Amino acid sequence: LTALGSVRPGAWLAAALVLAFLLLFLVAPVATVFVAAFADADGTPTLGHVAAFFSQGLMREAFWNSLWVASASAFFASLIAVPLAYLTVRFRFRGALAIQTLGVLPLVMPPFVGAVALQLVFGRSGTVNLLLNEWLGFTVPVMEGLAGVVFVESIHYFPFVLLNLTVALRNIDGAMEEAAQNLGCRGFRLFRRVVFPLALPGFVAGASLVFVKVFDDLGTPLVMGQTNLLAPQAYLRITRVGLEDPLGYVTSVILVLFSVLAMALAARTLKGRDFATLQKGGAGLAKRRLTPWQSVLAYGWIALVLVVTLAPHAGVLLLSFASVWSFSPLPDGYTLAHYETVFRDSAGTIRNTLLYCGIAAGLDVAIGAAIAYLMLRTNLPGRRALDGLATAALAVPGIVLAIGYLRVFQGVTIPGTDTLLTSTWLLIAIAYAVRRLPYALRSCVAALQQLHVSLEEAAESLGATKARTVRRIVLPLMAGGLLAGFVTSFITAAVELSATILLVSADSQAPMSYGIYLYLQSVAGRGPGAALGVLAIAVVAVGTWISHVVVERTQRR
């Protein structure tokens, strides 16, 4: 291998910086949690805690339940997202922009708020069931049991598939599709044999994200009263017995391990295949027309999905204006008082969210692009490990990461002051960056994977230096992917709660997600909580729309 000699110093430096960040803010905190899971009271290693875990029938049941819920959610999320993505990218279609923007909306709502809102619409005494019962005399228990969790999670996380698949579809060389059409390939066969396989990296990236997110999700099952899943069990143990409880750590360790396994399996299915196409698609490709009956089907499906997807938003919006809403299809009356309360008491949370998530998403795109480049374009030893390490962050529940931070940085002060690092908001922003890095990384990798290396070789053979090639060729062509990464990272960080709960050390540091959570913790606070939720959705929707416009513009260039 000529590898080592050809690795440039810049690559080494980038790798070293990325590695230092990951070691300090991901590996060390998680390691302390692992140690706690395998240490006896006097510090000697033991497997006793693990044995205790597996001897519990409840824990085994929780494990299978988690696996089932996560798989089913990934399946249903795909079912929603794949038609949406294909239709909007490949067909002449009115309202495509609206669907792209609306499709992201579920992500901008903290999952627990989504679950609360869906209860209002689809719950036992929700609008739909009250009306059904009144008119037809029966109710539909969509929000009950594990199936209810799958329902909420699919609606909440399908945008992961949509976002990634859309970028992948756009990047497919239009010539491939045209060639297939010239050879007589049409309709579903064209999609199944040509388009979908070429977009597979985007799809697998999205679907595996859904699986892991659902596997780790805490808020939704808790709000819906489902405790027999792994993440709630870890949380319930740690908060019931206290931080000393080893079973909580064992559960965390198992959560981490299985999520890593799922990601590794996804990576394996893509291994050894070539998804690169020479040209970027999009602008050059003529969008096809739908036949009339195809239009009916397409619009019908999209309308149905949109109605269900937007139900939580409608619920939250109504709630934010409702004076009293109790056991009735619609609120009793309407008021602006909740918005007044929010602007008077909680304006700071909006600023905090923008600040923390901006920092986190910026860090993520920088690190993600660096790792993608190192992995796909250099022979740096251990580059796959770097990718694996960053991706592993996905498998770390927020609560585990936060506990790790509190342990690792306990008593550490900011240099030159006597302020504790753990009492600042810096750790919140860093925790967001670490937790959301995998999303940005996937987008960066998918973008670079689809960029054929011959373009860079051409630049270099024309005399451009490596740095210049990266700056003038690689980054501009990756821009769509980078931006998608930034947005995914930003908006999912904006709704992060589990790490936030533990790391906030004063209400004035609270971001919006935590502000909403606080409001929802009080009897008369649902209104202001919903109002703040609406503002959060607005902030992030505007950001998403702007990014979409930018993506469109770069594509046209």
Partner 1 sequence: MKSTLLAGAAVLLAALPLAAAAGTVTVVTSFPKELTQAYKTAFEKANPTIKLEILNKNTVQGIAYVRELPVGQRPEVFWASAPDAFEVLAGLSLLEPVGDLANKAAPQKVGNYPINNPQGLYLGQALAGYGLMWNTRYLQANKVPVPREWADLTKAAYFGHVAMSSPSRSGTTHLTVETLLQGEGWEKGWRQLLEIAGNSAAVTERSFGVPDGVNNGQFGVGLVIDFFGLAGKYSGFPVEFHYPSVTAVVPANIGLVAGAKNPAEAKKFIAFSVSQEGQQLLLDPKISRLPILPPEQLGGKVPAGYPNAFEIAKRAKVHFDSDLSEARYNVVSALFDQAITFRLKELQAATKAIHDAEAALAKKPNAQGAALVKQARDAAFSPVVGPQMAGDKNFLALFAANKKSADVNKQVTGLEDRWNAAAREQYAKARTLAEQAGALAR
362 is a site residue for partner 1 (CB under 8 A): yes
CB contact at 8 A, 431 and 405: yes
338 is a site residue for partner 1 (CB under 8 A): no
345 is a site residue for partner 1 (CB under 8 A): yes
Sign of the alpha-carbon torsion through 24, 493, 101, 166: positive
Choices 191-199, 371-379, 423-431, 439-447; region in contact with partner 1 by CB under 8 A: 423-431
Choices 298-306, 387-395, 419-427, 540-548; region in contact with partner 1 by CB under 8 A: 419-427
Q: Which of 492, 484, 377, 512 is nearest to 434 (CA)?
A: 492
Largest CA distance in the chain: 76
CA angle at 85 for the pair 84 and 88, rounded to the nearest 5°: 80
472 is a site residue for partner 1 (CB under 8 A): no
Q: Which residues have a Cβ under 8 Å from the Cβ of 334 and sit 6 or more positions away?
A: 321, 322, 323
Minimum Å gap between C-beta 230 and partner 1 is: 13
Q: What b/e readout covers 124-151, taking b as 16+ CB neighbours within 10 angstroms? A: eebbbbbeeeeeeeebeebbeebebbbb
240 is a site residue for partner 1 (CB under 8 A): yes
**Residue 208 CB-half CA count within 13 A:** 26
Say how far residue 123 (Cα) sits from the centre of its chain. Answer: 25
Kindly tell me which of 208 and 220 has the beta carbon lying closer to partner 1.
220
Choice from 8, 92, 124, 192 touching partner 1 (CB under 8 A): 124
Beta strands in 90-203 (DSSP E): none
Report the distance separating Cα 215 and Cα 234, nearest Å.
12
Q: Which of 388, 393, 450, 385 is nearest to 200 (CA)?
A: 450
269 is a site residue for partner 1 (CB under 8 A): no
Choices 155-163, 223-231, 300-308, 541-549; region in contact with partner 1 by CB under 8 A: 223-231
150 is a site residue for partner 1 (CB under 8 A): no
Q: Which residues have a Cβ under 8 Å from the Cβ of 117 and sit 6 or more positions away?
A: 109, 311, 312, 313, 315, 316, 319, 530
Give the length of the chain.
Answer: 557
414 is a site residue for partner 1 (CB under 8 A): yes
Choices 7-15, 157-165, 287-295, 518-526; region in contact with partner 1 by CB under 8 A: 518-526
406 is a site residue for partner 1 (CB under 8 A): yes
Minimum Å gap between C-beta 520 and partner 1 is: 8
Interacting positions 437-466 with partner 1 (CB under 8 A): none
Minimum Å gap between C-beta 242 and partner 1 is: 6
Interacting positions 51-110 with partner 1 (CB under 8 A): 51-53, 55-58
Total binding residues toward partner 1, as defined by CB under 8 A: 76
196 is a site residue for partner 1 (CB under 8 A): no
423 is a site residue for partner 1 (CB under 8 A): yes
